Amino acid sequence: MTTIAPTLYTRTFPRTASWLRDVTLIVLGALFVAALAQVEMPLPFTPVPITGQTFGVLLVGAALGSKRGAASLGTYLVMGMFGLPFFAGGAHGLDIVIGATGGYLIGFILAAYAIGLLAERGWERSVRTSLVPFLVGTVIIYVCGVAWLSVILGSFGKALAAGLVPFLIGDALKLLAAAITLPAAWKFVR
């Protein structure tokens, strides 16, 4: 019996450690995006504020990969829905998810998955090539966000004017900042 116990322990411990590491990274990614959501600048002409969330989504997706990245953003969404002040400006609740910014929040999960998938295929290896997955992720966020905002505002043109155009320059800067910051994120994850 004593000869079997060490064998069982060594076989299950690495799996447990890997699972614990994954859960820790998923939760830390969600907390990172939640912290960046507090960097908020409301705009008087749109219900969508400028936040640091997109930057966080880009980094979490690239650093954690498709499954853990999507799980991290899903965790972020669920924690905010159930009352933690994780959305822009400390907001929380289901009304935020079904409100004007809900499409962007759902888009975060899809974007993290797509960015992670491209990163797993080697597209994040340099600053220059990492721009491609980050651009794809940003487009996914915009498509989901503007589509839902057009339902809320009742007009696709209004949704473009309120949910896309004011954010293009800022998101281009976030995209570049994420590409530059990515090597530090890799070191943290590893």
Contacts of 109 (CB under 8 A, 6+ apart): 70, 73, 74, 77
Instruction: Give residue-wise pLDDT tens across range 116-159.
Output: 999 999 877 777 788 899 999 999 999 999 999 999 999 999 99
> Does the structure show a pLDDT above 50 at 6?
no
Contact 172, 124 (CB under 8 A): no
> Does the structure show a pLDDT above 50 at 5?
no
Positive/negative CA dihedral, 123, 126, 130, 132: negative
> Does the structure show a pLDDT above 70 at 3?
no
> Does the structure show a pLDDT above 60 at 66?
yes
pLDDT confidence tier of residue 71, bands split at 50, 70 and 90: very high
- 179 CA to centre of own chain: 15
Task: Give the per-residue pLDDT at 13.
Answer: 53
> Does the structure show a pLDDT above 60 at 4?
no
Contact 89, 97 (CB under 8 A): no
pTM metric for this prediction: 0.88
The number of distinct structural domains making up the chain is 1
Question: Averaged over 99-122, what is the pLDDT?
Answer: 96
- 190 CA to centre of own chain: 19
CA distance 73 to 138: 14
The mean predicted confidence, pLDDT, of the chain is 90
Residues of the chain with pLDDT > 70: what percent?
Answer: 92
Q: What domain range is 65 assigned to?
A: 4-189
CATH number where 41 lies: 1.10.1760.20
171 versus 185: the higher-pLDDT residue is: 171
> Does the structure show a pLDDT above 50 at 82?
yes
> Does the structure show a pLDDT above 50 at 10?
no
